[in-house]
């Protein structure tokens, strides 16, 4: 339990699943021949629509590669990263002019003296955020095309977005990364694979049952401890006990 709570890879849902299985293996009193996974399924209960929460939690722990949000998000949410065609000059804002016909507030709000002093102190040390359009010289317009670049070590995808005015630049970048993408390995999983780190069972069979027919085990293995991650190392956890009869539970 200490290792589960200290595992930086486990979110609150994955941690809840691991703790439920740990309870079923070590503390739960199950009948003879009943799989601890069935006990964990019972302990986790059901969600608001009556579906067993265990099913979704196990499916979410299936080892797989989840691409970054920048790859799958809508084009208009990603600014174009090509060089600007002309220098960026911010337009001056119009000065505020109060409406002379607007009613005057009866009691205008004013900050207390102590809060007003804190505000002045904070504004004196405030620095505006970096304007990447001016300092980096990138376009920043709404994009429409994504060029994916695969890391030659991990196969992870990096998204490069371009607008319609930089279509030629997008074609050039796509040609530059074409050979690199073809030679890139299968993406290293970056999601799931925590259950095999702590418990022994036929996890491939369990994952296939809950993750769906389109899920395939990665060639790097099911256990997240075995995945190569450049710049990151995790201490392998000792599987303390075999989970007997790791059969998928039927509703």
Range of the domain at 128: 69-82+110-183
For the chain, give the mean pLDDT. Answer: 83
What's the confidence (pLDDT) of residue 135?
60
pLDDT at res. 231: 56
Segment 228-242 mean pLDDT: 54
Residues 166 and 198 reside in one and the same domain? no
Indicate the number of domains in the chain. Answer: 2
Domain identity same for 73 and 135: yes
126/118 Cα distance (integer angstroms):
12
pLDDT category of residue 244 using cuts at 50, 70 and 90: very low
Query: Would you say residue 243 has pLDDT above 90?
Result: no
Q: What is the pLDDT of residue 105?
A: 65
50 versus 104: the higher-pLDDT residue is 50
Q: Report yes or no on 38 lying in a domain.
A: yes
The answer, yes or no, to whether residue 242 has pLDDT greater than 60, is no
| Residues 136 and 52 occupy one common structural domain | no
CA atoms of 146 and 71, how far apart (whole Å): 7
Q: What is the mean pLDDT of residues 141-169?
A: 92
**157 pLDDT exceeds 90?**
yes
Q: Which of 183, 212, 240 is the last residue of a domain?
A: 183
Task: Based on the fold, state whether residues 167 and 219 are members of the same structural domain.
Answer: no
> pLDDT grade, residue 233 (50/70/90)?
very low
Looking at the fold, whether 124 and 212 belong to one and the same domain comes out as no
User: Is 240 among the domain residues?
Assistant: no
Residue that wins the pLDDT comparison between 131 and 119:
119
Residues 195 and 177 in one domain: no
Q: Is 64 helix (H, G, I), strand (E, B) or coil?
A: strand
Task: Lowest mean pLDDT of 93-107, 137-151, 152-166, name the range.
Answer: 93-107
Q: Verify that 130 and 203 share a domain, yes or no.
A: no
173 shares its domain with 122: yes
- Whether 34 is covered by a domain: the verdict is yes
Do 46 and 131 belong to one domain? no
Residue 27 within any structural domain of the chain = yes
**Closest among 251, 249, 250, 239 to 22, alpha carbons compared:** 239
Asked if pLDDT for residue 107 goes beyond 90, the answer is no
Cβ atoms of 165 and 85 closer than 8 Å: yes
Contact 167, 143 (CB under 8 A): no
Q: Is the pLDDT of residue 88 over 90?
A: no
Q: Which residues contact 146 (CB under 8 A, 6 or more apart)?
A: 71, 75, 78, 159, 160, 161, 162
Q: Mean per-residue pLDDT for 63-68?
A: 93
In a shared domain, residues 139 and 209: no
Examine the domain organization and report whether 170 and 73 are in the same domain: yes
| DSSP class of 226 | G
Does the pLDDT of residue 69 top 80, yes or no? yes
Q: Report whether pLDDT(136) > 80.
A: no
DSSP secondary structure letters along 71-105: HHS-GGGSB--SBPSS---PPPPPPP---TTSPPP
Structural contact between residues 201 and 242, judged by C-beta atoms closer than 8 angstroms: yes
């Amino acid at each position: 339990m200490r290792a589960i709570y200290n595992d930086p890879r486990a979110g609150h849902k994955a941690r809840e699943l691991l703790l439920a299985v740990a309870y079923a293996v070590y503390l739960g009193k199950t009948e003879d021949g009943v799989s601890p996974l069935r006990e964990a399924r019972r302990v986790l209960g059901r969600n608001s629509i009556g579906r067993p929460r265990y099913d979704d939690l196990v499916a979410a722990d299936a080892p797989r590669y989840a691409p970054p949000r920048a790859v799958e998000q809508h084009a208009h949410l990603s600014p174009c990263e090509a060089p600007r065609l002309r220098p960026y000059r911010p337009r001056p804002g119009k000065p505020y002019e109060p409406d002379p016909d607007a009613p005057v507030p009866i009691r205008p709000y004013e900050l207390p003296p102590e809060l007003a002093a804190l505000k002045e102190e904070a504004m004196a040390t405030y620095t505006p955020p970096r304007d990447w359009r001016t300092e980096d010289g990138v376009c920043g317009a709404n994009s429409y095309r994504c060029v994916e670049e695969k890391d030659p070590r991990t196969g992870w995808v990096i998204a490069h977005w371009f607008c319609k005015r930089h279509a030629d630049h997008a074609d050039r970048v796509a040609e530059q990364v074409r050979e690199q993408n073809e030679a890139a390995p299968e993406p290293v999983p970056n999601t799931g694979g925590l259950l095999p780190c702590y418990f022994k069972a036929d996890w491939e069979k369990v994952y296939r049952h809950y993750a769906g027919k389109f899920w395939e085990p990665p060639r790097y293995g099911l256990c997240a401890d075995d995945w190569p991650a450049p710049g990151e190392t995790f201490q392998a956890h000792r599987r303390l006990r075999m989970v007997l009869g790791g059969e998928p539970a039927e509703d």
